[in-house]
Structure 1
Amino acid sequence: MKMTDFEFQIENFMIYCSSKNLSKKTMKAYEQTLKLFGSYMQEKFSVEEVEKIQTGHIRQYIKYLRERGKYTTTSNQKSIEINKPHNRKDYKKEISDSTINNYIRNIKVFFNWLYEENEIRKNPTEKIQKIKTKRKMKETISEEAFKALLRTFDTTTFHGYRNHIITKLLLDSGMRIGECLSLTVENIDIKNKVILVENTKGKNQRYVYFSLRMGENLRRWMQYKDRYVETNFLFPTNKGTQLTINSYETQLRKAGEKIDIKIHPHQLRNNFSKYYLLNGGDFFTLSRILGHSSVKVTEEAYMDLTPEEINKKYQKHSPLNKWRL
C-alpha cells in the first residue's frame, strides 16, 4: 500500500528523533499522536499532505478530542476490532486537558521540525496555544501515612524487603522510579552518601544524595541481596533480573490499598521535593537534584504549597523567631 505524504513525513520525523537519541517513551508518544492526527485529517478532511494542513484543522482536532472523549480515535480500524475499546469502562470519558496539551505539544514539535526542514512554507501550529489548566495540588504524604506504608511490606521476604528499601530511597533521594530500578551497586557511594544516576530522562548523568540513615539501610540491603542473588543490579528480582517499573508500581499500589491510600512512585518524588522546600531547601539546588532542564521547570512544578505549608515554612524562617527578640 502506497504511503501518504503525511505518513512519509512521520517516518522521516521518527528517523530524525532516533538520530537525536530521544527516549523510547518520548518517541512512542510522538508517533502515536501524529498517526492519530493524520488519520483524523484523512477521514474528516481528506487531507494527506502536510503542506495542506491549516491552523483551523488543528483547532478542529482539539475541539473533536474534547467532545468525543477517550479511545474514540484510532489510526487503524483493525485495532478497534482487536482491542474493542468500546468495552472499556472509561470509553468516551472526557480526555483531560493535560493529556490534550501533550497532544498539542507533540503536534507542534512535528510541525516546527517540518518548518525548519523547509518541508512546509508556513507553520500551522504557530498560533496554537495550549489549553489553560487548573493546577492540581500535589498530595503530601504525612509522616504517619508513610510509616504505615512501610509497615505493609513483609521484610522477612526478599521482594518485601527490597520494596521497603526502594520506597524509602525514592522519598529520601527524589529519584524517578526508572532511574532507581536501573541502578547498579557501582552507582552507590555509601561513604560519601551519593548516587550516580546514569539512566536519566534527559540522557545526562547526575548525582543524587541520601541521608546517613538511608546509607545504613542500603549497606544492610546490599549485604542481604548478595547472600541470595548474584547480580549487579541494586534492586533485582529474586532471579537476579532487573525489576520492571510496572511490577514495582503494582506492588506499591497494593501496599497503599492495605492502609487505604492511593500511592504512585512519582508521588514519592513529589513529596521529597515538597519536604525539601518546606525544610528550607532552595529551588536551584532542588532543580539539580531532580534533573530538571531548568529552575523554571522546578518552580512551575512545586509552587503549589498549601497555605498551611507556607505558614509552617514561614514560622521556621521568620526573623523574629530566629532572633528571639
Structure 2
Amino acid sequence: MATGCRASTLRNIKIEDIDMKNKEIIFKHAKNRRQHIIPLADILQDVLKEYLIIRDGMPHDWLFCSRTGEKITKNCLTNSIITYNRRLGVERTGIHTFRHTFAKFWILNNGDVFRLQKILGHKNFEMTRMYVNMFGQDLKYKFDEYNPLSSFERKTSVSMNKFRNK
C-alpha cells in the first residue's frame, strides 16, 4: 500500500534493498525486468525499522520470508493478505488491489501522474491510466476545489467584496 509494487516484486525484496539512509527501496525484480528505485515513505520507514528489529536478518536475507528463512511463497503472501483483510472486514482481498488502490489514491491525493508512472514501473501512460480507474464518486472528490469556474468565482467574490467595502 505504501509502494504500489507487485506481489512478485514484494516477494523478491532483500533486506539490503531497503536504504534507510537515502530513504529508498530498490526493486530488483520487476515485471519489465528493469530494476527501479522508489522513495521510502516516512511511515513505511518507521514500520520497517521496527519490523527489521524483530526480523533480525542479514542484509542478503529476504525481507519477507517463511519461518525457515526462505523466500515467502506466493500462496503464503496471498493467504496472509486475505486473512488480514477479512479480519478488518474488507471484502476485496486480492493483493493486486493494493497496487490499484495505491495508484488511485496517489491521484486523489494530488500526486502527479508522471511520478506515478515511474513509481509503478510502467513504460507507457496508457497502463498507468488503467490503474487509476475512477468511479462516479471519485470524480466528485474535491470537484469544486479544482473546477476552474469555482476558482474564478472565488477570486471574483473577493474582488467584489473589496469594491463594496470602499
Q: TM-score, normalised by structure 2?
A: 0.81
SS of corresponding position for 1:195: strand
> Equivalent residue for 1:138?
none
- Amino acid corresponding to residue 280 of structure 1 in structure 2: N
Change in CA separation of 1:312 and 1:218 when aligned onto 2, cut-off 3 Å: same
Alignment equivalent of 2:44, drawn from 194, 208, 214: 214
Bigger relative contact order (CA 8 A; separation at least 6): 2
Change in CA separation of 1:215 and 1:244 when aligned onto 2, cut-off 3 Å: same
Percentage of pairs with the same residue: 23
What is the alpha-carbon distance in structure 2 between the residues aligned to residue 283 and residue 260 of structure 1? 27
Could you report, residue by residue, the CA deviation over 1:1-29 in whole angstroms, capped at 9, with x for unpaired residues? Answer: xxxxxxxxxxxxxxxxxxxxxxxxxxxxx
Tell me, yes or no, if structure 1 residue 255 matches structure 2 residue 84. Answer: yes
Residue 248 (structure 1) shift: 0.9
Alignment equivalent of 2:12, drawn from 163, 166, 182: 182
Cα-Cα RMSD? 2.2
> Equivalent residue for 2:33?
203
| Superposed counterparts of 1:84-103, under 5 Å | none
What is the alpha-carbon distance in structure 2 between the residues aligned to residue 283 and residue 248 of structure 1? 29
Gaps of 5+ in 2: 159-166
Gaps of 5+ in 1: 1-170
Q: Which has the higher helix share?
A: 1
Change in CA separation of 1:322 and 1:182 when aligned onto 2, cut-off 3 Å: farther
What is the alpha-carbon distance in structure 1 between the residues aligned to residue 98 and residue 154 of structure 2? 31
Larger Rg: 1
Tell me, yes or no, if structure 1 residue 317 matches structure 2 residue 119. Answer: no
Residue 318 (structure 1) shift: 4.1
What is the alpha-carbon distance in structure 1 between the residues aligned to residue 37 and residue 142 of structure 2? 27
Q: Is the 8 A contact 1:279 1:313 kept in 2?
A: no
Q: How many residues align?
A: 152
Change in CA separation of 1:232 and 1:278 when aligned onto 2, cut-off 3 Å: same
What is the alpha-carbon distance in structure 2 between the residues aligned to residue 208 and residue 301 of structure 1? 18
> Equivalent residue for 2:124?
294
Could you report, residue by residue, the CA deviation over 1:79-110 in whole angstroms, capped at 9, with x for unpaired residues? Answer: xxxxxxxxxxxxxxxxxxxxxxxxxxxxxxxx
| Superposed counterparts of 1:120-269, under 5 Å | 171-226=1-56, 232-258=61-87, 259=89, 261-269=91-99
